[in-house]
Amino acid sequence: MTKRTLIHAGLALREAALRLAMTPRRARRSRPLAIYGEVQKILFIRIDRVGDLVLSTPALRVLKEGFPSAALTVLTGPATAPLLEYNPHVDRVIVYDRSWTVREKTVRLRELRQMRFDLAVDPYDDRELETAWIAGMSGAPLSLGYPCGGREHFLSLVAPLPEPERHMTEVVLHVLKPLGIPISSHPPEIFLTDAEVECARGWLARVGGDALPFVAIHPGAFYETQRWPAEYFAKLADLIAETGRLKVVLFGGPGDEAIVDRILSLTKTHVVRCVTANIRVFAARLSQCCLLVCNNSGPLHVGAALGVPTVSFMGPTVMHRWYPRGEGHVVLRIDDLPCIGCNRGACPTGTLECMRLITPEMAAEAVSGLA
């Protein structure tokens, strides 16, 4: 039996078990809201990574526009929650850490039930069960999401699965269609204060020492297969500095210290180092750079949401789903590899060719065309 067959068999077994286990609860569930105008409290669930949250911000705006009198609460992770500060479409942010113990998660779920939400929205379209469980157990009489691998048994209302070629922003928006509210297109959004921007501008002026604009480089990525090699980033930093027109600031977040230090050890020119756990400090400083070079990961979508042009490297990632939104972006990808788009976290060939074949010179040319 192949691995794919085993996966499908496991999903079918899970779906059957959930259908059996959840039938009594579905029978006891409160009636759905007869009129969506009754919705006064909405829970939106997005407990994964930075890019996913940023690409969900258009849906937050659409929900608020569709239910203008409702209070919108977003349940999100501790690392991503700061990105929703000052977002005018979000009334409250509640942190949910997926690394918590079962007891800690149960306490948070009890708190959610006490808030008496009318609508819980789970925008995940994969086999993720935890978010569907949260939506179904939140106490909201209307729980909305996608059907996949049995997750629909936690929900009172399901949306048809989106077409495979949909971008992530559209996937999240599409789940709202059963609500009957207008679905309009908006770019991803991050809101910075004037004080944050001024502080970032002052910091760059101090570390820059002159009026040359900064190119931001962020080498981080969740999976190994998403990471352009450190030595390539170092070579690119040198090529950028050699133009005499630009300076380089090397960003990193928690866990990126080693790769940032390795890149710095390989460069021949002065590069400003900025490793910070404060994602709003990163966003503000990035907003004052003329360009971002990065992998296909969360920082890419932060940059695009801030209106910063980007040059990014795409390897095994599903192309149509994770392109940066907006104008002024160059995505470097080796399209003619037979394994491109495998969407795996570990390289099946062990070569990481999809990333290694994107050379520093190719990246430097793309930077020159944008900066």
Residue 53: pLDDT band with limits 50, 70, 90 = very high
All structural domains of the chain with their residue ranges: 3-179, 194-370
pTM flag (> 0.85): yes
Asked if the domains 3-179 and 194-370 are classified in one and the same CATH topology, the answer is yes
Of 13 and 356, the structure prediction assigns the larger pLDDT to 356
Of 210 and 355, the structure prediction assigns the larger pLDDT to 355
Long-range contacts for 17-25 (Cβ within 8 Å, ≥24 apart)?
17/150, 18/150, 18/151, 18/153, 18/154, 19/150, 19/153, 21/153, 22/136, 22/153, 22/154, 23/153, 25/136
The architecture in CATH of the region 194-370 reads 3-Layer(aba) Sandwich (3.40)
Residue 209: pLDDT band with limits 50, 70, 90 = confident
What's the pLDDT score for residue 22?
A: 52
254-300, pLDDT tens digit by residue?
Answer: 999 999 999 999 999 999 999 999 999 999 999 999 999 999 999 99
CATH class given for the domain over 3-179: alpha beta
What's the pLDDT score for residue 1?
A: 47
Q: Is the pLDDT of residue 320 over 50?
A: yes
CA-closest candidate to residue 48, choices 216, 222, 204: 222
Of 278 and 25, the structure prediction assigns the larger pLDDT to 278
119-177, pLDDT tens digit by residue?
Answer: 999 999 988 899 999 999 999 999 999 998 888 999 999 999 988 889 999 999 999 99
At residue 161, what is the residue type? L
For 114, residues 6+ apart whose C-beta sits below 8 A from its C-beta are none
Place of tokens 């039938």: 23
